[in-house]
Structure 1
């Protein structure tokens, strides 16, 4: 399961999903709520938008909207692994703390490093370019 706010869903996000779908039988993109962020669209609207961007051949990729803890979604839906993209050491340090907590709660986190050409890509940067 690959959780995020995805506001917007960037080429970096798509790359992480593409790589994950090759590693796992099923990948769910979990469009979630982050109390620290103010997304430009509702969770449901972002999920619909992501669905429309996925190639037809990606049959093992699903999209779901969720309002709650990521680990609760994992438990309720039998997800054993949380996938997290990391661009740099700042991302890694922040994600490592969450991963440690999720591991204690029974869900492993797999870090997928960003490809060099996508390291500078972030939802914040994409939103700024659109403004």
Structure 2
């Protein structure tokens, strides 16, 4: 946590659904930053089963109530635009493997050019095989999820 001005971080994703890996990233991010916003975003390359408001409500229902420094917001624009308009200083991204890292590195470079740095948090080894797609296609909903 910072000692001066509070540092707000945003953790963006489509979260369709929110997985144990996502929960772990939020838990670790809240230890690094004063506030964490889970930003349920629209991704034009994905076709989620529900809209971002419904997914945001589902994430809120999963997060432990004692995590008072974590909020959830739905957003349909660029993450960097959200950061600028909501005084967020950093983007948090989880990475499971080298494919994720390559993709995320490109996004981080773009966001850095727009004035918002990115912090990568590597996935815990036991969660590396879990993806929203795998959870969705297996039909197994992993709730309640707690770290």
Asked if these proteins are the same fold (TM beyond 0.5), I'd say yes
- 1:45-64 mapped onto 2 (5 Å cutoff): 45-64=54-73
Aligned residues: 131
Q: State which of 16, 23, 36 in structure 2 corresponds to 1:7.
A: 16
- TM-score for both structures, normalised by structure 1: 0.99
Alpha-carbon offset, residue 116 of structure 1: 0.3
Q: Do residues 120 (structure 1) and 129 (structure 2) align?
A: yes
Residue segments in structure 1 that go unaligned for 5+ positions in a row: none
Once the two structures are superposed, what CA deviation does each residue of 1:85-111 show, in whole Å capped at 9, x if it has no partner? 000000000000010111111000000
Q: Distance in 2 between matches of 1:32 and 1:87?
A: 20
Q: Secondary structure at the match of 2:37?
A: strand
Q: Do residues 107 (structure 1) and 124 (structure 2) align?
A: no
Q: Distance in 1 between matches of 2:86 and 2:65?
A: 24
- 1:1-131 mapped onto 2 (5 Å cutoff): 1-130=10-139
Alpha-carbon offset, residue 71 of structure 1: 0.4
Alpha-carbon offset, residue 125 of structure 1: 0.3
Structural RMSD (CA) = 0.8
Structure 1 runs of 4+ aligned residues shifted over 3 Å read: none
Residue segments in structure 2 that go unaligned for 5+ positions in a row: 1-9, 141-147
Structure ranking higher in helix proportion:
1
